[in-house]
Amino acid sequence: MSTIAFIGLGIMGSPMAVHLVKAGHDVAGYNRSPEKTKPLVEAGGRAAASVADAVRGAEVVALMLPDSPDVREVLTGQDGVFAGAAPGTLIIDFSTIRPDVTRELADEAARRGLRYLDAPVSGGEAGARNAALSIMVGGESADFEAARPVFEAVGKTVVHVGPSGSGQTVKAANQLIVAANIEALAEAVVFLRAYGVDLEAALEVLGGGLAGSAVLTQKRDKMLHDSFEPGFRIALHHKDMGIVTSAAREAGVVLPLGALVAQLVAAANASGDGALDHSALLRGVQRLSGQTRP
Amino acid sequence: MSTIAFIGLGIMGSPMAVHLVKAGHDVAGYNRSPEKTKPLVEAGGRAAASVADAVRGAEVVALMLPDSPDVREVLTGQDGVFAGAAPGTLIIDFSTIRPDVTRELADEAARRGLRYLDAPVSGGEAGARNAALSIMVGGESADFEAARPVFEAVGKTVVHVGPSGSGQTVKAANQLIVAANIEALAEAVVFLRAYGVDLEAALEVLGGGLAGSAVLTQKRDKMLHDSFEPGFRIALHHKDMGIVTSAAREAGVVLPLGALVAQLVAAANASGDGALDHSALLRGVQRLSGQTRP
Amino acid sequence: MSTIAFIGLGIMGSPMAVHLVKAGHDVAGYNRSPEKTKPLVEAGGRAAASVADAVRGAEVVALMLPDSPDVREVLTGQDGVFAGAAPGTLIIDFSTIRPDVTRELADEAARRGLRYLDAPVSGGEAGARNAALSIMVGGESADFEAARPVFEAVGKTVVHVGPSGSGQTVKAANQLIVAANIEALAEAVVFLRAYGVDLEAALEVLGGGLAGSAVLTQKRDKMLHDSFEPGFRIALHHKDMGIVTSAAREAGVVLPLGALVAQLVAAANASGDGALDHSALLRGVQRLSGQTRP
Amino acid sequence: MSTIAFIGLGIMGSPMAVHLVKAGHDVAGYNRSPEKTKPLVEAGGRAAASVADAVRGAEVVALMLPDSPDVREVLTGQDGVFAGAAPGTLIIDFSTIRPDVTRELADEAARRGLRYLDAPVSGGEAGARNAALSIMVGGESADFEAARPVFEAVGKTVVHVGPSGSGQTVKAANQLIVAANIEALAEAVVFLRAYGVDLEAALEVLGGGLAGSAVLTQKRDKMLHDSFEPGFRIALHHKDMGIVTSAAREAGVVLPLGALVAQLVAAANASGDGALDHSALLRGVQRLSGQTRP
Residues A22 and A148 in one domain: yes
Question: How much is the mean pLDDT over chain C?
Answer: 96
Distance CA D284, CA D187 (A): 9
Residues D45 and D103 in one domain: yes
pLDDT at A260: 98
* Separation in Å, CA of C57 to nearest CA in chain D: 33
In chain A, which residues have their Cβ closer than 8 Å to the Cβ of C288?
263, 267, 270-271
Q: Give the confidence band of C102 by pLDDT, cuts at 50, 70, 90.
A: very high
pLDDT at D292: 72
What is the SS3 assignment for B22-80?
A: HCCCEEEEECCCHHHHHHHHHCCCEECCCHHHHHCCCCEEEECCCCHHHHHHHHHCCCC
Q: Which of residues 50-109 of B touch A (CB under 8 A)?
A: 99
Residues B30 and B148 in one domain: yes
Distance CA C256, CA B263 (A): 6
Which among D147, D163, D179 is the end of a domain? D163
Which among B129, B148, B163 is the end of a domain? B163
pLDDT at D293: 57
Model pLDDT for residues B13-70, shown as the tens digit of each residue: 999 999 999 999 999 999 999 999 999 999 999 999 999 999 999 999 999 999 999 9
Q: Give the confidence band of B126 by pLDDT, cuts at 50, 70, 90.
A: confident
Answer for the pair C166, D197: CB distance below 8 angstroms, yes or no: yes
Catalytic residue among A36, A171, A222, A239: A171
* Separation in Å, CA of D41 to nearest CA in chain C: 30
Percent helix, strand, coil in chain A, to 5, is 55, 15, 30
Model pLDDT for residues B22-38, shown as the tens digit of each residue: 999 999 999 999 999 99
Which of B249, B255, B269, B285 is most worth mutating to test chain C (most C CB atoms within 10 A of its CB)?
Answer: B249
Asked if the peptide bond before residue D29 counts as cis, ω within 30 degrees of 0, the response is: no
Domain for residue C293, yes or no? no
Answer for the pair A223, A185: CB distance below 8 angstroms, yes or no: yes
- Among residues of chain B, what percentage have pLDDT more than 90? 96
Distance CA D31, CA D66 (A): 12
Residues D260 and D140 in one domain: no
Nearest to D267 among B263, B271, B288 (CB): B288
In angstroms, what CA-CA distances link B104 with A195, B89, C98? 15, 18, 22
Q: Is D198 exposed, middle or buried (0-12, 13-18, 19+ CB in 10 A)?
A: middle
Distance CA A151, CA A155 (A): 6
Residue A55 has pLDDT above 60, yes or no: yes
Distance CA D191, CA B227 (A): 32
Domain for residue A294, yes or no? no
Catalytic residue among D171, D219, D222, D239: D171
In chain C, which residues have their Cβ closer than 8 Å to the Cβ of D182?
none
Model pLDDT for residues A162-173, shown as the tens digit of each residue: 999 999 999 999
Domain for residue C50, yes or no? yes
Average pLDDT over every residue of A84-88: 97
| Strand blocks (E) in A79-118 | 90-93, 115-118
Model pLDDT for residues D157-205, shown as the tens digit of each residue: 999 999 999 999 999 999 999 999 999 999 999 999 999 999 999 999 9
Catalytic residue among C36, C38, C171, C222: C171
A235 touches D at CB < 8 Å: no
Distance CA A155, CA A131 (A): 5
Residue C292 has pLDDT above 80, yes or no: no
Domain for residue B293, yes or no? no
Backbone region of residue C88 per phi and psi (left: phi > 0; alpha: psi in -120 to 50; beta: other values): left
Residue C186 has pLDDT above 90, yes or no: yes
**In chain A, what's the furthest Cα-to-Cα distance?**
65
| Strand blocks (E) in chain C | 3-7, 26-30, 46-47, 60-63, 90-93, 115-118, 121-122, 133-138, 155-162
- Among residues of chain A, what percentage have pLDDT more than 90? 96
Model pLDDT for residues D143-157, shown as the tens digit of each residue: 999 999 999 999 999
Average pLDDT over every residue of B132-151: 97
Distance CA C152, CA B214 (A): 62
Residue A255 has pLDDT above 60, yes or no: yes
**In chain C, what's the furthest Cα-to-Cα distance?**
65
Q: How many CB pairs under 8 A join B and C?
A: 40
Domain for residue C82, yes or no? yes
Question: What global pTM score does this model have?
Answer: 0.95
Domain for residue A35, yes or no? yes
Average pLDDT over every residue of C233-244: 97
CATH number assigned to the domain comprising residue A207: 1.10.1040.10
Domain that holds residue C239: 169-288
Residues B159 and B195 in one domain: no
Residues A95 and A200 in one domain: no
The count of C-alpha atoms lying within 13 angstroms of the C-alpha of C175, restricted to the half-sphere facing its C-beta, is 32
Domain for residue D294, yes or no? no
Nearest to C263 among B246, B259, B269 (CB): B259
D132 touches A at CB < 8 Å: no
Residues A82 and A226 in one domain: no
Alpha helices of C155-228 — where are they, by DSSP H? Answer: 166-194, 199-207, 214-224
**Residue C171 annotated in active site:** yes
Residue D221 has pLDDT above 80, yes or no: yes
Distance CA A41, CA B10 (A): 67
Model pLDDT for residues C28-84, shown as the tens digit of each residue: 999 999 999 999 999 999 999 999 999 999 999 999 999 999 999 999 999 999 999
Q: How many residues does chain C have?
A: 294
In angstroms, what CA-CA distances link B160 with B107, B137, B153, B203, D172? 19, 5, 16, 35, 53
Number of domains in chain B: 2
Distance CA B239, CA B179 (A): 12
Residues A261 and A245 in one domain: yes
In chain A, which residues have their Cβ closer than 8 Å to the Cβ of B254?
285, 288-289
Q: Give the confidence band of D294 by pLDDT, cuts at 50, 70, 90.
A: low
* Separation in Å, CA of A41 to nearest CA in chain B: 30
Residue B292 has pLDDT above 80, yes or no: no
Average pLDDT over every residue of A91-112: 97
CB contact under 8 A, D192 and C169: yes
Distance CA A49, CA A52 (A): 8
pLDDT at B67: 92
Answer for the pair A254, B289: CB distance below 8 angstroms, yes or no: yes
Which among B145, B163, B181 is the end of a domain? B163
CATH number assigned to the domain comprising residue D44: 3.40.50.720
Residues D248 and D147 in one domain: no
Domain for residue D293, yes or no? no
Distance CA C202, CA C185 (A): 12
Q: DSSP readout, D77-121? A: STTSHHHHPPTT-EEEE-S---HHHHHHHHHHHHHTT-EEEE--E
Model pLDDT for residues A28-51, shown as the tens digit of each residue: 999 999 999 999 999 999 999 999
Residues C11 and C136 in one domain: yes
By mean pLDDT, which of A93-97, B230-234, D104-108, D244-248 is the weakest?
B230-234
Q: Which of residues 147-186 of C touch D (CB under 8 A)?
A: 156-157, 159-163, 165-166, 169-170, 172-174, 176-178, 180-181, 183-185
In chain A, which residues have their Cβ closer than 8 Å to the Cβ of C275?
none
Residue C293 has pLDDT above 60, yes or no: no
- In chain C, whose CA is at the least distance from the CA of B257? C260
Strand partners for D133: D155
Residue D125 has pLDDT above 90, yes or no: no
Model pLDDT for residues A180-225, shown as the tens digit of each residue: 999 999 999 999 999 999 999 999 999 988 999 999 999 999 999 9
Looking at this predicted complex, what is its ipTM? 0.94
pLDDT at B96: 96
In chain D, which residues have their Cβ closer than 8 Å to the Cβ of C157?
204-205, 208-209
Model pLDDT for residues B71-107, shown as the tens digit of each residue: 999 999 999 999 999 999 999 999 999 999 999 999 9
Q: Give the confidence band of C125 by pLDDT, cuts at 50, 70, 90.
A: confident
Answer for the pair B183, A180: CB distance below 8 angstroms, yes or no: yes
Residues C27 and C135 in one domain: yes
Residue D21 has pLDDT above 60, yes or no: yes
Question: How much is the mean pLDDT over chain A?
Answer: 96
Burial D48-82 (b: 16+ CB within 10 A, else e): beebbbbbeebbbbbbbbebbebbbebbeeeebbb
Residue A294 has pLDDT above 60, yes or no: no
Residues D42 and D182 in one domain: no
Answer for the pair D267, D241: CB distance below 8 angstroms, yes or no: no
pLDDT at D231: 85
Distance CA A4, CA A17 (A): 9
